[in-house]
Amino acid sequence: MALATVRRILISETVDPCCKQILQENGIDVTEKQNLSKDELITEVKGYEGLIVRSATKVTADVIDAAENLKIIGRAGTGVDNVDVEAATKKGIIVMNTPSGNTTSAAELTCGMIVSLSRQIPQAVMSMKAGNWDRKKFMGAELYGKTLGIVGLGRIGKEVAIRMQSFGMKTVGYDPIIPPEVTATFGVEQMSLERLWPLCDYITVHTPLMPSTTGLLNDESFARCRKGVKVINCARGGIIDEAALLRALESGQCGGAGLDVFIDEPPKDWSLVNHPGVVSCPHLGANTKEAQIRCGRDIATQIVEMVQGKSLIGAVNAQVLTAAIAPESRPWIKLGEALGSVAKACAGQVKSQVQITTLGQSLKNAAGYLSAAVVVGLLKDGSKNAVNLVNALPLAKEAGVTVCCVSFKSFLNKIASHQSDAAPILAQSACEVEICANGVSHKVVGSVQGDVPVLLELNGGLFRQPVPLAGNLIFFKALANPQLVSSVAGVLAAAGLQMESFSTSAAIAGEQWCSVGVSSLLGDLNTLKVHVKEALQLFL
């Protein structure tokens, strides 16, 4: 399933030529314009469905608001610190990076920093270039037997661990997401930060920059470390508190630092860079020929495969879509949107509480995209932003819609209990949407039959034949009465409408729900309401 149509892409920074080539070979028009100012970018981006950047281009909310047609922002590298992901998400724009493009390069630079700190290699080089031969000044220390603490054990952290183990280092680490049994497979013992700080001779950080990691190494954590600990940051500026690091270096609590990243780049304050115990680089983590080729190739390939509906890799704000891209998901997404529209027509308003229940083995990974799809149906035509699977859940929150998704294991049994009055319903998987507004609850249940979304149940009424959810539909509840069909047909005929299909539910307490497919919707639904208890209509 294609998640977006992308015909034109703007590349705003220098990216390996293979990126442009791959995109063009797959029918996408590419324009390269580097060094655009913010105002120039705002003007230029309006005509494109895609934007590819590295780290210099700042894709702010202003840029995103101006991007009328933008569907995808691709970052040729790891991290998306230079993209306002929240603003992009609200506008339904997928933000994508290349999670493994610079893994090896960043890991190797980190290892180089560790070796440089242990033997003071850069300082010795500069001394030699100044004409000095001073062996005693540059006494180093072996890495063998030392303990390396790795904070963040994802791709890069793992590769650093494997490489430094070859030096005979003991590797310990911390990661709030990756299970300890997984990191144990590549030789890293996990522990809390409180345990980790005092154990380490070297500490390297490999986390994204977020509120929970900003200033992770600060005055308090440095005080818990071994005296003379050496720290490395090749991840993101700000993970190590720069002022606290300078204080630790000056006091001797920190014995050296390897820094490839800074809070401000280039730094506004060069005190750290100029400190004799600091080895620094101008953000070179991904600056290898191999990484640039890999990142350019990966971002182009990922965009092409997303457009072609083959896969979704590297999306940082659309994880729910990963399962949605499979071809078999498309009819279920259509079903979710249709059920959301029916639920909205029943409730008569958007602000509500919505519970989505999934059932069946085929829907075990569908909760995320089905929830989003239902919300699309609830919100479309009522939101200032175009609603899609990317922004549906954030926009629901703004609109006052509370959404939860659960698995209701006894659902098919409940359907089966009604089947004495109705024709058999061959549904191995189903989706139930219950919406509650102003204390009144409505429930719709649907499934997919032969790739066609169908309605099985409406507010307790189980249809004898599943109702295809497409076209102009009128639903009404009335007393089971042989004269009902003729009365409804008369109303439709008087309005010049043709009846194209008709289905009824099993009667409960003498009442039943009916579904009528019509050539167009009634101009005035009240003409029908005089004959029935409840009525609603919609186009799907």
Would you name the residues annotated as active-site residues?
A: 236, 265, 283
* Residue appearing with tokens 């993101």: 236
| Tokens describing residue 133 | 């031969």
Give the Cβ contact number of residue 332 at 10 Å. Answer: 26
Give dist(CA 371, CA 349) in Å, integer.
18
* Distances in whole angstroms, Cα of residue 115 to Cα of each of 194, 413, 476: 26, 65, 76
Residue 383 and residue 349 in contact, taking contact as beta carbons nearer than 8 Å: no
Cβ atoms 476, 528 nearer than 8 A: yes
Residue 315 burial by Cβ neighbours in a 10 Å radius (0-12, 13-18, 19+): buried
Rounded CA-CA distance 465/505 in Å is 8
Q: Give the angle 294-299-304 at the CA atoms, nearest 5°.
A: 125
- Left, alpha or beta for 246 (phi > 0: left; psi -120 to 50: alpha)? alpha
The residues pairing with 29 across neighbouring beta strands, listed in sequence order, are 8
Distance CA 534, CA 530 (A): 9
Cα 10 → chain centroid: 22
Number of helical H runs and strand E runs in the chain: 19, 22
Distance between CA atoms of residues 366 and 329, nearest Å: 8
Cis ω before 266 (30° cut-off from 0):
yes
| Integer angstrom CA distances of residue 500 from 99, 414, 423, 452, 487 | 52, 30, 21, 17, 16
- Contact (Cβ atoms closer than 8 angstroms) between residue 58 and residue 37: no
Phi, then psi, of 427 in degrees rounded to 5: -120, 110
* Beta-ladder partners of 205: 151, 233
Q: Which of 292, 330, 255 lies closest to 54, judged by CA?
A: 292
CA separation for the pair 118, 97 (Å, rounded): 33
Amino acid identity at 113: M
- Residue pair 378/340 in contact (Cβ under 8 Å)? The answer is yes
3-state helix, strand, coil in the chain (%, to 5): 35, 25, 40
